[in-house]
């Protein structure tokens, strides 16, 4: 057997998702049947100081040789890093990713990719100019479950797609849990609100079922009609957004698609799937349902008009029970030995780097830009604009 190719990661920021991603990254890929690649962490940086980076590397179980930096500027100069994982709040993605690209580093950037489409375009242009890999980290797209759903659609089993509905909502009780308005979910300075944080997943399901499933030349951006409710305590973040997208298709085959997102109610109020599916893709021959949460779904149901009903469970591989290994995010710590599922997107990055690809066909730069354009339009229709310093395409800007 040939030696696995090792991909060397640098972790930019040490918050909640950086921890979850890094733990998944360091899992033995054989637990998910992957033998040709391996991931390692060679460095991490914290804007709050080197000590935090040292602590972070210990917390995630990085190799003892991994270097800790007290600034992002130092991290991107590290010659041993193949790719940087940008995991700051989305307000900072544009500045931090441009820093990586200018320094000649490939980058995987947390969702939402940027604050607006203009920034997303600039990053894609810079990656092209520098011949670097760049991808928005919408991990769900690389789940085996997502491959299955896209295959069901492209196989024609559902017939012509008519309507997709999708909800990604979480009840946060923001006045109680984020009373000072500083948390990134509600803070305008951090591009807070439901839309960019949770709505991106509701939109992901519309796009990956209606848009990604077409050959690139046939993809057309949707029209957008929307309503947005402002979170009053901070005045410039949304607490609820509803979107109706119409994807144009020739021959009177337009697809209607509805995405909703909120930080006040949950797609799965009891956490036991009793609320039913969070995404339904309706074709004229049947439907496929995806159960919540839409960012990490583990259950699907296929219902066809010929009488077929097929339920599937999609476990998240990991070292297993008895391993003493836990991963997850916030309240969502997974059962012992179960991975979070972020390793599949990391594997996609690894394959791209090995093959010399600069983007992923499952979320191209063009598609990320179109999705940002949808969110721009929703914010425009709802009168939501963030502070200029985070909307700007100027670089560098100190935040
Ligand atoms: N894929 C997913 O499932 C998922 C889940 C949650 C979040 N996310 C995305 O990941 C990003 C980070 O979310 P998170 O939940 O990890 O946030 P978080 O826990 O608040 O961590 C963000 C980190 O960014 C750094 N940072 C730099 N400037 C900052 C500033 N002005 N304010 C706050 N933090 C700052 C800090 O790290 P240092 O001090 O080390 O620099 C901080 O720990 C967001 O874009 C979010 O949408 C993705």
CATH code for the domain in which residue 162 is found: 3.30.360.10
The number of distinct structural domains making up the chain is 2
131 and 189 in a single domain? The answer is no
Report yes or no on 394 lying in a domain: no
Alpha carbon 339 to its chain centroid, in Å, reads 16
Residues 156 and 294 in one domain: yes
Do 307 and 178 belong together in one domain? Answer: yes
Half-sphere exposure of 1 (CA within 13 A, CB side): 7
Show the domain range for 217. Answer: 141-315+363-382
Q: Which of 139, 173, 205 is the last residue of a domain?
A: 139
For the chain, how many residues are written?
399
Angle between helices 93-102 and 117-130 (to 10 degrees): 10
Nearest residue (CA) to ligand 1, atom 2: 17
Q: Quick one: DSSP state of residue 314? A: -
**Nearest one of 399, 367, 370 to 386, comparing CA atoms:** 399
The finding on whether 15 has its CB within 6 A of some atom of ligand 1 is yes
Residues 214, 199 within the same domain? yes
Q: In 3D, which of 98, 50, 40 has the Cα closest to residue 74? A: 50
Same domain, 304 and 237: yes
C-alpha–C-alpha distance, residues 399 and 397, integer Å: 6
pLDDT in tens, the chain (399 residues): 689 999 999 999 999 999 999 999 999 999 999 999 999 999 999 999 999 999 999 999 999 999 999 999 999 999 999 999 999 999 999 999 999 999 999 999 999 999 999 999 999 999 999 999 999 999 999 999 999 999 999 999 999 999 999 999 999 999 999 999 999 999 999 999 999 999 999 999 999 999 999 999 999 999 999 999 999 999 999 999 999 999 999 899 999 999 999 999 999 999 999 999 999 999 999 999 999 999 999 999 999 999 999 999 999 999 999 999 999 987 789 999 999 999 999 999 999 999 999 999 999 999 999 999 999 999 999 999 999 999 999 999 999
Same domain, 210 and 126: no
149: Cβ below 6 Å to ligand 1? no
Report the pLDDT value the prediction gives residue 331, as an integer from 0 to 100.
79
Residues 61 and 105 in one domain: yes
Q: Is residue 334 included in any domain, yes or no?
A: no
| Beta strands 5-12 and 83-86, pairing class | parallel
The number of beta carbons lying within 10 Å of the beta carbon of residue 316 is 22
- The answer to whether residues 186 and 196 belong to one domain is yes
Cβ 344 under 6 angstroms from ligand 1: no
Instruction: Give the atom of ligand 1 at the shortest distance from the alpha carbon of 342.
Output: 1
Task: Pull the structure tokens for residue 133.
Answer: 């890999």
Q: Distance (Å, rounded) from C-alpha 113 to C-alpha 138? A: 9
Is the residue at 323 inside a domain? no
Query: β-pairing, 223-230 with 161-167?
Result: unpaired
Both tokens of 29, joined, read 């890929």
- HSE, side-chain direction, 13 A CA sphere, residue 232: 0
Tell how far the Cα of 89 is from the centroid of ligand 1, in angstroms.
Answer: 4
74 and 220 belong to one structural domain: no
Nearest to 184 by CA among 10, 60, 16, 374: 16
In a domain, 398, yes or no: no
Q: Which residues contact 71 (CB under 8 A, 6 or more apart)?
A: 45, 47
The reply to whether 134 and 145 lie within a common domain is no
Instruction: Please report whether residue 296 resides in a domain.
Output: yes
Contacts for 268 with CB less than 8 Å, ≥ 6 apart:
274, 275, 278, 291, 292, 293
Q: Are both 170 and 98 inside the same structural domain?
A: no
pLDDT, position 2: 81
Asked whether 50 lines ligand 1 (CB < 6 A), one says no
Buried b (16+ CB within 10 A) or exposed e, 188-225: bbbbbbbbbbbbbbbbbbbbbbbbbbeeeeebebbebe
Residue located nearest, by CA, to atom 5 of ligand 1 = 17
Look at the block and give the residue holding tokens 């779904």: 297
Atom of ligand 1 nearest to the CA of 183: 20
In a domain, 324, yes or no: no
Is 257 in the same domain as 308?
yes
**Does 347 reside within a domain?**
no
Q: Report which protein residue has its CA nearest ligand 1's atom 4.
A: 17
Q: Which domain CATH number covers 66?
A: 3.40.50.720
Q: Is the CB of 159 under 6 A from ligand 1?
A: no
216 belongs to a structural domain = yes
For residue 1, the model assigns a pLDDT of 64
Query: Which amino acid residue places its CA nearest to atom 27 of ligand 1?
Result: 88
């Amino acid at each position: 057997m040939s030696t696995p190719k090792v991909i060397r990661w640098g972790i930019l920021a040490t918050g909640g998702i950086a921890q979850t991603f890094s733990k998944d990254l360091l899992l033995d890929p054989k637990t998910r049947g992957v033998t040709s690649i391996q991931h390692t962490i060679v460095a991490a940086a914290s804007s709050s100081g080197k000590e935090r980076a040292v602590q972070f590397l210990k917390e995630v179980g990085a190799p003892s040789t991994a270097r800790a930096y007290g600034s992002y500027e130092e991290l991107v100069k590290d010659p041993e890093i193949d790719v940087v994982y940008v995991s700051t709040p989305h307000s900072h993605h544009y500045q931090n990713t441009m820093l990586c690209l200018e320094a000649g580093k490939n980058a995987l950037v947390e969702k939402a990719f940027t604050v607006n489409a203009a920034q997303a375009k600039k990053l894609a242009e810079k990656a092209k100019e520098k011949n670097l890999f760049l991808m928005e980290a919408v991990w769900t797209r690389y789940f085996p479950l997502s491959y299955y759903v896209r295959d069901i659609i492209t196989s024609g089993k559902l017939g012509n797609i008519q309507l997709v509905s999708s909800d990604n909502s979480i009840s946060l009780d923001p006045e109680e849990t984020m009373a000072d308005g500083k948390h990134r979910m509600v803070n305008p300075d951090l591009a807070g609100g439901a839309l960019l944080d949770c709505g991106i997943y509701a939109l992901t399901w519309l796009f990956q079922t209606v848009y990604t499933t077409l050959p690139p030349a046939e993809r057309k951006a949707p029209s957008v009609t929307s309503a947005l409710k402002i979170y009053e305590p901070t005045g410039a973040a949304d607490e609820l957004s509803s979107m109706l997208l119409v994807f144009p298709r020739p021959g009177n085959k337009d697809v209607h698609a509805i995405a909703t997102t909120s930080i006040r109610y949950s797609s799965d109020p009891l956490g036991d799937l009793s609320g039913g599916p969070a995404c339904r893709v309706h074709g004229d021959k049947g439907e496929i349902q995806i159960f919540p949460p839409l960012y990490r779904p583990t259950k699907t149901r296929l219902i066809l008009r010929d009488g077929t009903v097929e339920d599937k469970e999609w476990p998240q591989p990991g070292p297993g029970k008895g391993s003493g290994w836990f991963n997850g995010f916030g309240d969502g710590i997974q059962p012992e030995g179960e991975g979070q599922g972020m390793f599949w997107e990391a594997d996609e990055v690894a394959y791209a780097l090995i093959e010399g690809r600069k983007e992923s066909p499952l979320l191209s730069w063009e598609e990320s830009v179109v999705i940002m354009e949808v969110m721009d339009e929703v914010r425009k229709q709802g009168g939501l604009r963030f502070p200029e310093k985070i909307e700007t395409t100027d670089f560098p800007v100190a935040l």
